Amino acid sequence: MERHEYDVVVIGAGGAGLRAAIEARQQGKRTAIVCKSLFGKAHTVMAEGGAAAAMGNVNPDDNWMVHFRDTMRGGKFLNNWRMAELHAKEAPDRVWELEAWGALFDRTRDGKISQRNFGGHEYPRLAHVGDRTGLELIRTLQQRVVALQQEDYELHGDYEAYIKVFAECTVTRLLKDGDAISGAFGYWRETGKFILFDTPTVVLATGGIGKSYVVTSNSWEYTGDGHALALLAGANLINMEFIQFHPTGMVWPPSVRGILVTESVRGDGGVLRNSLGERFMFNYVPDVFKDKYATTEEEGDRWYTDQANNRRPPELLPRDEVARAINAEVKAGRGSPQGGVFLDVSSRLPATEIIKRLPSMHHQFKELADVDITKEPMQVGPTCHYIMGGVEVDADTGAASVPGLFAAGEVSGGMHGSNRLGGNSLSDLLVFGRRAGAGAAAYVDGLARRPVVSGVEEAMAEALAPLERASGENPYEVHHELQRTMNELVGIIRKSGEISEALDVVEKLKERAKNTASTGGKIYNPGWHLAIDLRNMLLVSECVAKAALLREESRGGHTRDDYPVMSADWRRKLLVCSAPADGSEVTVVEQEQPGMRADLLTLFDRGELAKYLTGEELAEYDAALA
Ligand code: FAD
């Protein structure tokens, strides 16, 4: 078996992983980047709309405090407020840093980085490159990795002396020495050969969990690996009940159902209509947002050209609100022919402008659905897009509770509370990727001795098990049943009975998954890879369902039909998942969210806080003002 020694092993080569690796290498650490897909193929590359950062380029009134407020509102105040603060303060520097490393953002007329509108953001805030922002972000970060490798060649005669990429390599277990991380075990996807990383630190940057659902914008590798690796290593996951169903995924044809239709379509003027032609979002503005959104179509339309004197249209409410509204319209029989609603930009912008601003969307609909979005509306519906829940980390360093384990990006939890604002993920990756890389480097510096690898035999036996069974369950069937169950029973609208039913199914599927058999040997065998990934998807689904059953309220990305409103009793409660190393059972316990620092509380007006906070928290606010 191949064996490599590193100071820092970053699992994941999306925005969070690359930014973490760059930081660790810049701090002099020997760093490995491991990714199960091709280098350059990560969710980050698919990001369309942009990275949210309060640079104030388009509206000078924007600043970190407005961004912080928007983020907390979007997350319904369940966010880790320290993370939201760091994110809002540091995002502009991370975007400018990207520019210094060669990123070519779209510009304003006076040559600054252009910023676009997005749901829940008070001002135009998303730095973007057309609707292909993620591609430019990844290109730039990869270019930075190559630049560092060239420096290393000059100094050490070896491009890979300090930073090396292991692509198409899947990590299946984290290894420990006592309580602390000592390594990571995995296999090469192409040959099936095993690989061992001897390392005192692991930064998890593995992205999301969407492949537990049938209808999702996520691609094949988002099987919740990092979430499960952390859980099995003894770390906690928080906020797992909060899943973002993006309001606009493609609904037709069935082969592309779930593929994302960027929010930029609405940010640039697109409107949602039902089968009666009504702009139904005006009927779905919740009380907490009533004073911030237009009440007439005329006012909403004026906002695109005069934001100072008009309120934004309700199509730009946070995603959870828009997704629920679409769901309700379809349920009420006012949906489009293929089971979604209409998203129309064709009657709102000239064709040339649509092609200029939304080139990928134009191409996507033409190629995949034979729809010309400059001439006719799209049909769209909710799709499982993003998980707000993830590894519980220290806000400043990205450290998980297991010594030597760090997490950043979508796999970490807390930053976005119960619902993420669009654009806040790309900036999250940059801010917390950098912090986790620095956190890991500092941890290595503080180590008295290097931990010793153990548990390799067990990890190997676990990985080989599906190949060694002569016959057994088909991993594809188990996967399909899991996806259907999660979609139908723990989806956008949830009920106690249905969630319990889902948990029974997950329990049975866990037993079946222990008996999966994959024929065909170790060389590029996707059936075997799926059999290994099932453990992760099942564990993550158990966390989501158990937390969803416990949280008896509706908040952000968790909507309970039987508890349809936000409840003061749940205001400060976080649900924390843990599991033993064999993953036999997930335990979920309540934990109190730490109270917000007084100077941050005073950024909000009291009337607004009263809509969200407990009496105790309001008393703190009053004391801070006194
Ligand atoms: P990813 O970019 O998802 O990368 C994960 C990495 O981990 C990959 O390299 C993968 O191969 C690797 N990996 C996973 N498991 C393993 C394993 N077991 N072993 C080894 N490697 C592993 N957000 C925004 O802010 N703005 C947008 O405009 C936007 N648009 C989006 C559009 C789409 C279509 C999608 C799907 C998401 C969008 N998002 C957007 C969300 C955002 O792109 C993601 O949340 C973000 O890119 C996640 O980045 P990450 O670095 O955490 O992980």
155-179 burial code (b ≥16 CB/10 A, e <16) = eeeebeebbbbbbbbbbbbbbbbee
**Closest ligand 1 atom to 429 CA:** 51
Mean pLDDT of the region 353-373: 94
Report the nearest-CA residue for atom 23 of ligand 1: 425
Contact status, residue 94 vs residue 131, Cβ threshold 8 Å = no
Pocket of ligand 1 (CB under 6 A): 11-17, 34-37, 42-44, 46-51, 133-134, 170-171, 205-207, 217-218, 221, 225-226, 260, 386, 409-411, 422-426, 429
Alpha-carbon gap, residue 589 to 550, rounded angstroms: 9
**Closest ligand 1 atom to 426 CA:** 25
CA–centroid distance, residue 14 to ligand 1 (Å): 6
- For all residues of the chain together, what is the average pLDDT? 96
Of 471, 472, 544, 482, the C-alpha closest to 508 is 482
Pocket perturbation via mutation, ligand 1, pick of 19, 41, 44 by most ligand atoms within 8 A of CB: 44
253-284 burial code (b ≥16 CB/10 A, e <16) = eeeebbbbbbbbbbbbbbbbbbeeeebbbbeb
- State the complex-level ipTM: 0.99
Q: Phi and psi for 343 in degrees, rounded to 5?
A: -115, 115
CA–centroid distance, residue 85 to ligand 1 (Å): 22
Contact status, residue 493 vs residue 320, Cβ threshold 8 Å = no
Residue 192 pLDDT exceeds 90? yes
Pocket perturbation via mutation, ligand 1, pick of 117, 165, 211, 425 by most ligand atoms within 8 A of CB: 425
Mean pLDDT of the region 409-415: 98
Residue 611 pLDDT exceeds 90? no
3-state secondary structure of 172: strand
CA–centroid distance, residue 126 to ligand 1 (Å): 18
Residue 586 confidence (pLDDT): 98
Entry pTM:
0.94
Residue 616 confidence (pLDDT): 87
To the nearest 10°, the Cα dihedral for 154, 155, 161, 162?
A: -110
Report the nearest-CA residue for atom 12 of ligand 1: 12
Residue 621 pLDDT exceeds 90? no
Whose tokens are 């095993």? That residue is: 194
Can you give the three-state secondary structure of 543-572, one letter per residue? HHHHHHHHCCCCECCECECCECCCCHHHCC
**Closest ligand 1 atom to 385 CA:** 36
Report the nearest-CA residue for atom 14 of ligand 1: 206
CA–centroid distance, residue 251 to ligand 1 (Å): 22
CA–centroid distance, residue 145 to ligand 1 (Å): 18
Helices (H), 380-525: 424-445, 456-468, 475-489, 496-513
pLDDT confidence bin for 12, thresholds 50/70/90: very high
In the structure encoding, which two tokens stand for residue 251, read together?
A: 């609904």
Report the nearest-CA residue for atom 6 of ligand 1: 12
CA–centroid distance, residue 209 to ligand 1 (Å): 10
DSSP string for 26-83: HTT--EEEEESS-TT-SHHHH--S-EE----SS-TT--HHHHHHHHHHHTTT-S-HHH
pLDDT confidence bin for 319, thresholds 50/70/90: confident
CA–centroid distance, residue 44 to ligand 1 (Å): 4
Of 229, 247, 152, the C-alpha closest to 185 is 229
**Closest ligand 1 atom to 411 CA:** 52
Report the nearest-CA residue for atom 4 of ligand 1: 14
Residue 387 confidence (pLDDT): 98
Q: List, for residues 499-529, the tens digit of each pLDDT value.
A: 999 999 999 999 999 999 998 899 999 999 9
Mean pLDDT of the region 233-259: 95
Contact status, residue 90 vs residue 408, Cβ threshold 8 Å = no
- For strands 194-198 and 2-5, give the pairing: parallel
Active site residue 357: no
Residue 283 pLDDT exceeds 90? yes
Q: List, for residues 454-501, the tens digit of each pLDDT value.
A: 999 999 999 999 999 989 999 999 999 999 999 999 999 999 999 999
**Closest ligand 1 atom to 18 CA:** 51
Residue 113 pLDDT exceeds 90? yes
Q: Which is the catalytic residue, given 257, 319, 324, 551? A: 319
Residue 154 confidence (pLDDT): 98
Mean pLDDT of the region 402-423: 97
Report the nearest-CA residue for atom 30 of ligand 1: 47
Mean pLDDT of the region 558-580: 95
pLDDT confidence bin for 626, thresholds 50/70/90: confident
